[in-house]
Amino acid sequence: MFNNDPNIPRMVGNFPLLPLRTKTRGPAYVLPQSSQPLPANESPDPDSESYDILDEVLSLFRANTFFRNFEIQGPADRLLIYGILFVSECLGKIRPHHSLRDATKEVLNTALDLNFAIPGDPAFPLNQIYEPPRDRQDAEQLRQYLSQVRQELAARLLARVYDEEGDGKPSKWWLSFTKRKFMGKAL
């Protein structure tokens, strides 16, 4: 959906800095909140102006985890790949016996850790499909954007894995994807 957007996003290397519906501070342009308040575990309608790439990451995650190969059709696909790999990492931190509080602590620590690899770093697992940032300023902007993406994605994932009316246990349906590796890679 985001590859067909006529507005070309800002790019760092070949990584797009797409707008996000977020309250987390960072360099991303902030999309308006949905006109009708939605529960935290739901996404707005894809045709809504407040639907963002992170909603797409979460809605396509389960289907895409089965892919060994992924054809990149546009810049938004690179952010989709990164998001899916990060969701996989977060799900790996959640244990079946974790309460919401324990899982929040684990997942948010992962999201808030600023010591993560970005495209161009030797430790980044997908350097073959990502161009490195041009300079140190671009690298810092990309790190801030990815940090913002990680924090927002972690919060939305927790809202989906732990149902508000549930028994306080994580969804077995989501946790069944913890052992799968998208494209055989991990962040």
Q: Output the CA angle 187-147-179, nearest 5 degrees.
A: 30
Give the C-alpha separation, 23 to 148, whole Å. 9
pLDDT digits (tens, 9 = 90+) for 28-75: 888 877 777 777 777 777 777 878 889 999 988 888 887 778 888 888
Determine the pLDDT at residue 67. 76
What type of residue is 116? F
**pLDDT one-digit tens code per residue, 104-153:** 999 999 999 989 999 999 999 888 889 999 999 999 999 999 999 999 99
- Dist CA 4 CA 133 (whole Å): 24
Q: What is the pLDDT of residue 116?
A: 92
Q: Which of 151, 156, 152 is nearest to 113 (CA)?
A: 151
How much is the average pLDDT of 76-90?
91
- Residue 20 DSSP SS3: strand
- What average pLDDT does range 7-20 have in this prediction? 85
Share of residues in the chain with pLDDT > 70 (%): 91
pLDDT value at residue 183: 67
Model pLDDT, residue 105: 95
Q: Is the pLDDT of residue 79 over 70?
A: yes
Would you state the pLDDT for residue 131?
92
Q: Provide the pLDDT for residue 137.
A: 95
